[in-house]
Amino acid sequence: MDGSLVDWSDAKIHIGAHVVHYGSGVFEGARCYDTEQGPAVFRLDTHIRRLYDSAKIYRMDYNLSPAELQDAVLDTIRANHYRACYIRPLMYRGYDSLGVNPFSCPVEAAILVWEWGAYLGDDALERGVDVQISSWGRGAPNRFPSVSKSTANYANAQLIKMEATLNGYAEGIALDPRGFVSEGSGQNIFVVRDNILTTPPLADSILPGITRDVVITLAKELGFMVKEETVPRETLYIADEVFFTGTAAEISPVRSIDKISIGGGSRGPITEAIQNQFFDVVNGRTQDTHGWLTYVYTEDNASERRATVTSETS
Ligand SMILES: Cc1ncc(COP(=O)(O)O)c(C=O)c1O
């Protein structure tokens, strides 16, 4: 937290912190994978860049550079001796005054790391999930900027997720203010029909997902046509395949929407091909041609790694 390593149980902020009252925080979710070449964070620089973009939109200035915060992420993983973990960098307005005007409140930051498996359940990656179209829509573009990963946006995400959970679904898909498909509560969405992949564009109230970008790149490399185009709700029901993408959800097939079976009602072949490619890349099983992996241990800090291995085996 703000430059110090703090025990989990001591990682506290004041109840008067602005963020608690007004959602004045921006955050990231990244993953570190346990590759054969050692732990590596997937697209760390892109996540940190998006964090600073999110902060800029809300006029938040933090006193560390993106490169320094990136180093702090790696330090935090090393301090916890994790080989694989989820990473949650957060910038927020702390305590000064409790007016809505946040400018006097200090911009603080923390990085949390913890072990987190499959977000939508262990079966989800293989068997797919059942989802509903949410009765809650995404915010209009000039209400809440969806390009900023602001904590405030997740009030909307919670409404979507709670409704879906209470209705017995794994997720909800939100529509944009016009009624076109936007995204899940914490995932982007892809629709496959006749071997063409379509995903809603940034203008349709989505977060510019980093996994979305990875899937667009990998799908094109596999020879598929990918379109960033507005998706009418009904085209979901008649798709051959639908899948979610996200750092937490990774690539999760959707097997039914509103109780309508998608394609064959299980993971489709294109979803599986992209999943295989994705997991090969994140786990370092194929060459990292895009420079997407940042290794936690380098020549410079190899002694810390040896210490980790020794403490794990002793
Ligand atoms: C609302 C929303 N959309 C999409 C995503 C997927 O983004 P990414 O692939 O960068 O994790 C997330 C997760 O961060 C999200 O919260």
Query: Are 231 and 180 within 8 A, CB to CB?
Result: yes
Range scoring the smallest mean pLDDT among 119-123, 133-137, 224-228:
119-123
Between strands 196-199 and 225-228, the pairing is parallel
Task: Indicate which residue's Cα is closest to atom 16 of ligand 1.
Answer: 186
Judged against a pLDDT cut of 90, whether residue 308 lies above it is answered with no
Inform me whether the pLDDT recorded for 284 exceeds 60.
yes
The CA distances from residue 101 to 21, 22, 60, 104, in Å, are 12, 10, 12, 8
Pocket test for ligand 1, best of 159, 171, 247 (most atoms within 8 A of CB): 247
pLDDT score for 314: 38
Whether 245 is in the pocket of ligand 1, judged by its Cβ within 6 Å, is yes
User: Mean pLDDT in the chain?
Assistant: 94
Place of tokens 């001591």: 10
Percentage of the chain exceeding pLDDT 90: 89
Q: What's residue 286's pLDDT?
A: 95
Q: Is the Cβ atom of 200 under 6 angstroms away from ligand 1?
A: no
Which residue is closest in CA terms to ligand 1's atom 5? Answer: 187
pTM summary value: 0.94
Mutation to probe ligand 1, out of 27, 46, 175, 187 (largest number of atoms < 8 A from CB): 187
Which amino acid residue places its CA nearest to atom 7 of ligand 1? Answer: 209
Cβ–ligand 1 contact at 247 (below 6 Å): yes
Q: What's the gap in Å between 57 CA and the centre of ligand 1?
A: 17
Which alpha helices (H) appear in the chain, and where do they start and end?
Answer: 18-22, 44-57, 66-80, 124-127, 153-166, 210-221, 233-237, 269-282, 302-313
Does 106 score more than 80 pLDDT?
Answer: yes
Is 161 part of the annotated catalytic residue set? no
Q: Is 210 in the pocket of ligand 1 (CB under 6 A)?
A: yes
Contact 183 CB / ligand 1 (< 6 Å): yes
- Give the separation between CA 81 and CA 36, rounded to whole angstroms: 16
